[in-house]
Amino acid sequence: MIPRSFEYFSPRTLEEAVALLQKHGPDAKLLSGGQSLIPMMKLRLVSPDYIVDINRIPGLDYISESDGHLKIGALTREHELESSDIVKTRFPILADTAKVIADPLVRSQATVCGNLAHGDPANDHPATMLALGATVVATGPKGKREIGIEDFFPGLFTTALEAEEILTEIKIPFPPPHSGGAYLKLERKVGDFATAGVAVQLTLDDSGAVKRAGIGLTNVGMTPIKAKQAEDFLTGKNPDEATIRKAGELAAADSQPMDDIRGSAEYKRDLVRVLTTRALSRALDRAKGGT
Protein backbone atom coordinates (compact mmCIF):
# COMPACT_ATOMS: atom_id res chain seq x y z
CA MET A 1 0.00 0.00 0.00
CA ILE A 2 3.03 2.33 0.12
CA PRO A 3 4.39 3.51 -3.25
CA ARG A 4 8.09 3.14 -4.01
CA SER A 5 10.03 6.38 -3.51
CA PHE A 6 10.15 8.84 -6.40
CA GLU A 7 11.34 12.33 -7.20
CA TYR A 8 8.52 14.91 -7.29
CA PHE A 9 8.35 17.92 -9.61
CA SER A 10 5.74 20.67 -9.53
CA PRO A 11 6.30 22.77 -12.67
CA ARG A 12 4.58 26.17 -13.01
CA THR A 13 4.36 26.20 -16.82
CA LEU A 14 3.42 23.72 -19.53
CA GLU A 15 6.82 24.21 -21.20
CA GLU A 16 8.57 23.23 -17.96
CA ALA A 17 6.33 20.16 -17.60
CA VAL A 18 6.98 19.04 -21.17
CA ALA A 19 10.74 19.55 -20.69
CA LEU A 20 10.66 17.35 -17.57
CA LEU A 21 8.74 14.61 -19.40
CA GLN A 22 11.21 14.85 -22.28
CA LYS A 23 14.22 14.68 -19.95
CA HIS A 24 13.01 11.68 -17.96
CA GLY A 25 11.17 9.81 -20.73
CA PRO A 26 9.30 6.62 -19.76
CA ASP A 27 10.68 6.80 -16.17
CA ALA A 28 8.41 9.81 -15.54
CA LYS A 29 4.64 9.90 -15.01
CA LEU A 30 2.39 12.91 -15.25
CA LEU A 31 0.02 13.43 -12.31
CA SER A 32 -3.29 15.26 -12.70
CA GLY A 33 -6.22 14.08 -10.53
CA GLY A 34 -4.19 11.15 -9.16
CA GLN A 35 -7.32 8.99 -8.85
CA SER A 36 -5.93 6.25 -11.09
CA LEU A 37 -2.19 6.85 -10.85
CA ILE A 38 -1.89 6.95 -7.06
CA PRO A 39 -3.87 3.71 -6.44
CA MET A 40 -1.73 2.01 -9.11
CA MET A 41 1.46 3.28 -7.45
CA LYS A 42 0.24 2.10 -4.04
CA LEU A 43 -0.40 -1.35 -5.49
CA ARG A 44 3.02 -1.09 -7.22
CA LEU A 45 1.43 -1.80 -10.59
CA VAL A 46 3.45 1.23 -11.71
CA SER A 47 6.55 2.60 -9.98
CA PRO A 48 7.72 5.75 -11.74
CA ASP A 49 11.07 7.28 -10.74
CA TYR A 50 9.75 10.80 -11.39
CA ILE A 51 6.33 12.41 -10.91
CA VAL A 52 5.49 15.55 -12.88
CA ASP A 53 2.50 17.12 -11.08
CA ILE A 54 0.69 19.61 -13.38
CA ASN A 55 -1.77 20.84 -10.73
CA ARG A 56 0.06 24.14 -10.11
CA ILE A 57 0.12 25.18 -13.77
CA PRO A 58 -2.34 28.07 -14.18
CA GLY A 59 -4.87 28.31 -17.02
CA LEU A 60 -5.65 24.61 -17.48
CA ASP A 61 -8.94 24.51 -15.57
CA TYR A 62 -11.74 25.64 -17.89
CA ILE A 63 -14.93 24.69 -19.70
CA SER A 64 -15.31 27.20 -22.53
CA GLU A 65 -16.96 27.68 -25.92
CA SER A 66 -15.15 28.91 -29.02
CA ASP A 67 -14.90 28.13 -32.76
CA GLY A 68 -18.06 26.00 -32.57
CA HIS A 69 -16.51 23.73 -29.92
CA LEU A 70 -16.86 23.04 -26.23
CA LYS A 71 -13.33 23.04 -24.81
CA ILE A 72 -12.32 21.22 -21.63
CA GLY A 73 -8.90 22.00 -20.14
CA ALA A 74 -6.48 19.48 -18.63
CA LEU A 75 -7.28 20.37 -15.01
CA THR A 76 -11.08 20.40 -15.30
CA ARG A 77 -12.44 18.04 -12.63
CA GLU A 78 -15.38 15.69 -13.17
CA HIS A 79 -17.61 17.56 -10.69
CA GLU A 80 -17.28 20.74 -12.79
CA LEU A 81 -19.12 19.01 -15.66
CA GLU A 82 -22.00 18.21 -13.32
CA SER A 83 -22.46 21.87 -12.37
CA SER A 84 -21.77 23.51 -15.76
CA ASP A 85 -24.86 25.14 -17.33
CA ILE A 86 -23.53 24.79 -20.87
CA VAL A 87 -22.88 21.07 -20.29
CA LYS A 88 -26.32 20.53 -18.76
CA THR A 89 -28.18 22.34 -21.54
CA ARG A 90 -26.16 21.48 -24.67
CA PHE A 91 -24.32 18.26 -23.72
CA PRO A 92 -26.61 16.26 -21.40
CA ILE A 93 -24.68 13.11 -22.41
CA LEU A 94 -21.59 14.58 -20.70
CA ALA A 95 -23.54 15.36 -17.54
CA ASP A 96 -24.97 11.79 -17.63
CA THR A 97 -21.43 10.42 -17.87
CA ALA A 98 -19.80 12.53 -15.17
CA LYS A 99 -22.43 11.72 -12.55
CA VAL A 100 -21.95 7.94 -12.84
CA ILE A 101 -18.16 8.06 -12.48
CA ALA A 102 -17.01 6.70 -9.12
CA ASP A 103 -18.27 8.82 -6.19
CA PRO A 104 -18.29 12.53 -5.27
CA LEU A 105 -14.92 12.27 -3.50
CA VAL A 106 -13.21 10.84 -6.61
CA ARG A 107 -15.05 13.26 -8.92
CA SER A 108 -13.81 16.24 -6.92
CA GLN A 109 -10.23 15.40 -7.93
CA ALA A 110 -10.36 13.24 -11.09
CA THR A 111 -9.89 15.15 -14.36
CA VAL A 112 -11.83 14.60 -17.59
CA CYS A 113 -8.59 14.66 -19.60
CA GLY A 114 -6.99 12.14 -17.22
CA ASN A 115 -9.99 9.86 -17.74
CA LEU A 116 -9.05 9.68 -21.45
CA ALA A 117 -5.27 9.75 -20.99
CA HIS A 118 -5.37 6.72 -18.67
CA GLY A 119 -6.49 4.59 -21.66
CA ASP A 120 -8.68 2.29 -19.54
CA PRO A 121 -11.57 0.74 -21.54
CA ALA A 122 -13.53 0.60 -18.26
CA ASN A 123 -13.47 4.40 -17.94
CA ASP A 124 -16.70 6.13 -18.94
CA HIS A 125 -15.62 9.22 -20.90
CA PRO A 126 -13.95 7.42 -23.82
CA ALA A 127 -17.27 6.00 -25.07
CA THR A 128 -18.98 9.37 -24.66
CA MET A 129 -16.20 11.18 -26.54
CA LEU A 130 -16.45 8.57 -29.33
CA ALA A 131 -20.19 9.22 -29.59
CA LEU A 132 -19.61 12.99 -29.67
CA GLY A 133 -16.78 12.85 -32.24
CA ALA A 134 -14.32 14.70 -29.96
CA THR A 135 -10.73 15.69 -30.70
CA VAL A 136 -7.92 15.81 -28.17
CA VAL A 137 -5.12 18.37 -28.16
CA ALA A 138 -1.68 17.05 -27.20
CA THR A 139 1.09 19.49 -26.23
CA GLY A 140 4.69 18.32 -26.58
CA PRO A 141 8.18 19.55 -27.40
CA LYS A 142 7.13 20.42 -30.96
CA GLY A 143 4.01 22.33 -29.88
CA LYS A 144 0.39 21.24 -30.20
CA ARG A 145 -1.18 18.53 -32.34
CA GLU A 146 -4.76 17.32 -32.61
CA ILE A 147 -5.79 13.66 -32.49
CA GLY A 148 -9.25 12.42 -33.47
CA ILE A 149 -10.77 10.38 -30.65
CA GLU A 150 -11.22 7.38 -32.98
CA ASP A 151 -7.41 7.20 -33.28
CA PHE A 152 -6.69 7.87 -29.61
CA PHE A 153 -7.04 4.36 -28.12
CA PRO A 154 -4.80 1.95 -30.08
CA GLY A 155 -4.70 -0.73 -27.34
CA LEU A 156 -5.33 -1.68 -23.72
CA PHE A 157 -4.15 1.10 -21.36
CA THR A 158 -2.44 2.69 -24.36
CA THR A 159 -3.14 6.02 -26.04
CA ALA A 160 -1.80 7.86 -29.06
CA LEU A 161 0.07 10.28 -26.72
CA GLU A 162 3.87 10.23 -26.86
CA ALA A 163 5.65 9.88 -23.47
CA GLU A 164 6.60 13.59 -23.51
CA GLU A 165 3.14 14.84 -24.51
CA ILE A 166 0.41 16.24 -22.25
CA LEU A 167 -3.27 16.03 -23.12
CA THR A 168 -4.07 19.72 -22.65
CA GLU A 169 -7.59 20.03 -24.08
CA ILE A 170 -10.61 18.09 -25.29
CA LYS A 171 -12.58 19.74 -28.12
CA ILE A 172 -16.16 18.68 -28.75
CA PRO A 173 -18.15 20.04 -31.70
CA PHE A 174 -21.38 21.80 -30.70
CA PRO A 175 -24.28 19.59 -31.75
CA PRO A 176 -26.48 21.07 -34.50
CA PRO A 177 -30.22 21.65 -33.87
CA HIS A 178 -32.32 18.50 -33.39
CA SER A 179 -29.49 16.70 -31.57
CA GLY A 180 -29.65 14.68 -28.39
CA GLY A 181 -27.45 12.29 -26.47
CA ALA A 182 -27.48 9.97 -23.48
CA TYR A 183 -25.09 7.76 -21.51
CA LEU A 184 -26.31 4.67 -19.68
CA LYS A 185 -24.20 2.40 -17.51
CA LEU A 186 -24.91 -0.69 -15.47
CA GLU A 187 -22.71 -1.01 -12.39
CA ARG A 188 -22.81 -3.69 -9.70
CA LYS A 189 -22.95 -1.04 -6.98
CA VAL A 190 -22.65 2.74 -6.87
CA GLY A 191 -19.06 3.78 -7.54
CA ASP A 192 -18.10 0.66 -9.47
CA PHE A 193 -16.72 0.59 -12.98
CA ALA A 194 -19.25 -0.35 -15.68
CA THR A 195 -20.31 -3.91 -16.28
CA ALA A 196 -21.14 -2.28 -19.61
CA GLY A 197 -21.97 1.27 -20.69
CA VAL A 198 -23.37 2.81 -23.86
CA ALA A 199 -23.08 6.40 -25.11
CA VAL A 200 -25.36 7.60 -27.92
CA GLN A 201 -25.39 10.97 -29.67
CA LEU A 202 -27.95 11.55 -32.46
CA THR A 203 -28.70 14.36 -34.89
CA LEU A 204 -31.99 14.30 -36.81
CA ASP A 205 -32.74 15.99 -40.13
CA ASP A 206 -35.86 18.10 -40.81
CA SER A 207 -37.88 14.99 -41.68
CA GLY A 208 -36.94 13.28 -38.39
CA ALA A 209 -34.53 10.77 -39.97
CA VAL A 210 -31.10 10.17 -38.41
CA LYS A 211 -28.50 12.46 -39.97
CA ARG A 212 -25.64 11.41 -37.69
CA ALA A 213 -25.37 8.66 -35.08
CA GLY A 214 -22.43 8.30 -32.71
CA ILE A 215 -22.34 5.23 -30.45
CA GLY A 216 -19.54 4.35 -28.02
CA LEU A 217 -19.28 1.29 -25.75
CA THR A 218 -17.62 1.05 -22.31
CA ASN A 219 -15.81 -1.98 -20.84
CA VAL A 220 -16.81 -4.53 -23.47
CA GLY A 221 -13.46 -4.89 -25.22
CA MET A 222 -9.72 -4.26 -24.93
CA THR A 223 -10.33 -0.62 -25.97
CA PRO A 224 -13.35 1.68 -25.92
CA ILE A 225 -15.44 0.61 -28.94
CA LYS A 226 -17.15 2.68 -31.61
CA ALA A 227 -20.23 0.69 -32.66
CA LYS A 228 -19.81 1.34 -36.36
CA GLN A 229 -22.31 -1.23 -37.65
CA ALA A 230 -25.06 0.25 -35.51
CA GLU A 231 -24.10 3.83 -36.46
CA ASP A 232 -24.10 3.04 -40.19
CA PHE A 233 -27.40 1.19 -39.93
CA LEU A 234 -29.14 4.12 -38.22
CA THR A 235 -27.91 6.80 -40.62
CA GLY A 236 -30.68 7.95 -42.98
CA LYS A 237 -33.36 5.87 -41.23
CA ASN A 238 -36.47 6.90 -39.38
CA PRO A 239 -35.65 5.82 -35.79
CA ASP A 240 -38.83 3.83 -35.13
CA GLU A 241 -39.09 0.98 -32.66
CA ALA A 242 -37.95 -1.72 -35.09
CA THR A 243 -34.94 0.35 -36.20
CA ILE A 244 -33.90 1.01 -32.60
CA ARG A 245 -34.25 -2.69 -31.79
CA LYS A 246 -32.07 -3.66 -34.77
CA ALA A 247 -29.46 -1.00 -33.87
CA GLY A 248 -29.25 -2.54 -30.38
CA GLU A 249 -28.54 -5.95 -31.90
CA LEU A 250 -25.84 -4.48 -34.15
CA ALA A 251 -24.18 -2.65 -31.25
CA ALA A 252 -24.13 -5.95 -29.34
CA ALA A 253 -22.44 -7.53 -32.38
CA ASP A 254 -19.87 -4.69 -32.36
CA SER A 255 -18.95 -5.38 -28.70
CA GLN A 256 -16.11 -7.76 -27.76
CA PRO A 257 -16.69 -8.57 -24.09
CA MET A 258 -14.91 -11.21 -22.03
CA ASP A 259 -16.03 -13.29 -19.04
CA ASP A 260 -14.91 -11.72 -15.75
CA ILE A 261 -16.13 -11.00 -12.21
CA ARG A 262 -18.78 -8.61 -13.61
CA GLY A 263 -20.45 -11.29 -15.75
CA SER A 264 -20.16 -13.61 -18.72
CA ALA A 265 -19.40 -12.35 -22.22
CA GLU A 266 -22.87 -13.47 -23.30
CA TYR A 267 -24.55 -11.49 -20.51
CA LYS A 268 -22.55 -8.35 -21.29
CA ARG A 269 -23.31 -8.59 -25.02
CA ASP A 270 -27.00 -8.71 -24.23
CA LEU A 271 -26.57 -5.83 -21.81
CA VAL A 272 -25.07 -3.75 -24.64
CA ARG A 273 -28.14 -4.56 -26.74
CA VAL A 274 -30.54 -3.44 -24.01
CA LEU A 275 -28.57 -0.33 -22.98
CA THR A 276 -28.22 0.74 -26.62
CA THR A 277 -31.96 0.62 -27.26
CA ARG A 278 -32.62 2.57 -24.03
CA ALA A 279 -29.88 5.15 -24.70
CA LEU A 280 -31.17 5.58 -28.27
CA SER A 281 -34.70 6.21 -27.01
CA ARG A 282 -33.49 8.78 -24.48
CA ALA A 283 -31.23 10.48 -27.05
CA LEU A 284 -34.17 10.63 -29.46
CA ASP A 285 -36.41 12.23 -26.82
CA ARG A 286 -33.75 14.84 -26.14
CA ALA A 287 -33.23 15.49 -29.87
CA LYS A 288 -36.95 16.27 -30.00
CA GLY A 289 -36.67 18.74 -27.13
CA GLY A 290 -37.14 16.49 -24.10
CA THR A 291 -34.80 16.52 -21.08
Ligand X SMILES: Cc1cc2nc3c(=O)[nH]c(=O)nc-3n(C[C@H](O)[C@H](O)[C@H](O)COP(=O)(O)OP(=O)(O)OC[C@H]3O[C@@H](n4cnc5c(N)ncnc54)[C@H](O)[C@@H]3O)c2cc1C
The total of other beta-carbon atoms located within 10 Å of residue 245's CB is 13
Contact criterion met (CB below 8 Å) for 99 and 87: no
Helix ranges, 237-289 (H): 241-254, 265-287
Which residues sit opposite 187 in a β-bridge? 194
Classify 22 as helix, strand or coil. helix
Least CB distance to ligand X at residue 111 (A): 3
Contacts 24+ apart (CB under 8 A), 247-251: 247/213, 247/215, 247/276, 247/277, 247/280, 248/272, 248/273, 248/274, 248/276, 248/277, 248/280, 249/273, 251/198, 251/215, 251/217, 251/227, 251/276
If binding is defined by CB under 6 A, does position 102 make contact with ligand X?
A: yes
Q: Does 25 bind ligand X (CB under 6 A)?
A: no
| Residue nearer to ligand X on the CB measure, 117 or 204 | 117
DSSP assignment letter at 174: P
**Looking at 86-94, 112-120, 234-242, 255-263, which segment touches ligand X (CB under 6 A)?**
112-120
Q: Does 254 bind ligand X (CB under 6 A)?
A: no
Q: Which of 20, 63, 98, 113 binds ligand X (CB under 6 A)?
A: 113
Q: Interaction with ligand X in 190-209: which residues (CB under 6 A)?
A: 191, 193
**SS3 at position 139:** strand
Q: Is 87 in the site for ligand X (CB under 6 A)?
A: no
Min CB(241)–ligand X separation in Å: 31
Q: How far is the CB of 75 from ligand X (least distance, A)?
A: 8
d(CA 186, CA 268): 10
**Is residue 161 at the binding interface for ligand X, with CB under 6 A as the rule?**
yes
Q: Rule CB under 6 A: say whether 33 interacts with ligand X.
A: yes
Q: Tell me, by CB under 6 A, how many residues bind ligand X.
A: 28
Give CA–CA dist 214/201, Å, rounded.
5
Going by C-beta distance under 8 Å and a sequence separation of 6 or more, which residues neighbour residue 61?
73, 75, 76, 77, 80
Q: Is 127 in the site for ligand X (CB under 6 A)?
A: no
Among 34, 88, 209, 256, binds ligand X (CB under 6 A): 34
| 148 binds ligand X per the rule CB under 6 A | no
Residue 149 CB, shortest distance to ligand X, in Å, is 15
Q: Which of residues 163-182 bind ligand X (CB under 6 A)?
A: 166-167
Q: Alpha-carbon distance 72 to 86, whole Å?
A: 12
Measured from the CB atom, the residue of 51 and 280 that comes closer to ligand X is: 51
Q: Which residues bind ligand X (CB under 6 A)?
A: 29-37, 39, 74, 101-102, 106, 110-111, 113-115, 117-118, 123-124, 161, 166-167, 191, 193
